[in-house]
């Protein structure tokens, strides 16, 4: 009886691997977040929190950008925390939206010198079929 049960489990595992195995090794499309510094001051300790993940950039010079890719299984919002190199205090911003659906987007955030954030999104092109 044990041999029959083990054989059935082996057959089930082989069947599952045969039918679903190829999709396990394909790269899924990812969202992309780009944060740029549109001010004249350097940004220090920039943290980008989205979908339960945190991305960090220690410094972001004027005109520079920080780019990260991520996957999400839930809808989420962005939370930015940063400090200016020439001003005391920490600034926070929450906004934007990431959907877990099949549509992947590029999320652009531009931080200006007045502690404001401009948020834009654009759809990413579909990856080529294998």
Residue-level pLDDT at 105: 92
The model's confidence at residue 4, banded by pLDDT at 50, 70 and 90, is confident
The model's confidence at residue 36, banded by pLDDT at 50, 70 and 90, is very high
Three-state DSSP at 97 gives: strand
Residue-level pLDDT at 29: 80
Residue-level pLDDT at 57: 94
Residue-level pLDDT at 30: 87
Structural domains present in the chain: 31-123 (2.60.40.2890)
Lowest mean pLDDT segment, chosen from 11-15, 27-31, 126-130 = 126-130
Average pLDDT of the segment spanning 35-64: 94
**62 and 40 Cβ atoms separated by less than 8 Å:** yes
Residue-level pLDDT at 129: 54
65-122 pLDDT, tens per residue?
999 999 888 899 999 999 999 889 999 999 999 988 778 899 999 999 888 999 999 9
Residue 53 has pLDDT above 60, yes or no: yes
- Output 68 or 13, whichever has higher pLDDT: 68
Q: Which residues of 68-86 are buried (b: 16+ CB within 10 A; e: fewer)?
A: bebebeeebebebbbbbee
Residue 127 has pLDDT above 90, yes or no: no
**90 and 80 Cβ atoms separated by less than 8 Å:** no
């Amino acid at each position: 009886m044990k041999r029959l049960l083990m054989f059935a489990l082996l057959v089930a595992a082989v069947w599952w691997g045969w039918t679903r195995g190829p999709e396990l090794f394909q790269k899924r499309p990812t969202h992309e977040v780009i944060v740029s510094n549109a001010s004249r001051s350097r940004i220090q300790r920039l943290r980008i929190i989205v979908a339960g993940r945190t991305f960090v950039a220690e410094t972001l010079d004027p005109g520079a950008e920080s780019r990260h890719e991520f996957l999400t299984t839930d809808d989420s919002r962005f939370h930015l925390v940063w400090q200016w190199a020439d001003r005391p205090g920490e600034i926070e911003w929450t906004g934007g939206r990431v959907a877990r659906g099949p549509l992947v987007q590029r999320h652009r955030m531009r931080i200006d010198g007045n502690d404001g954030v401009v948020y834009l999104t654009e759809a990413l092109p579909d990856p080529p079929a294998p």
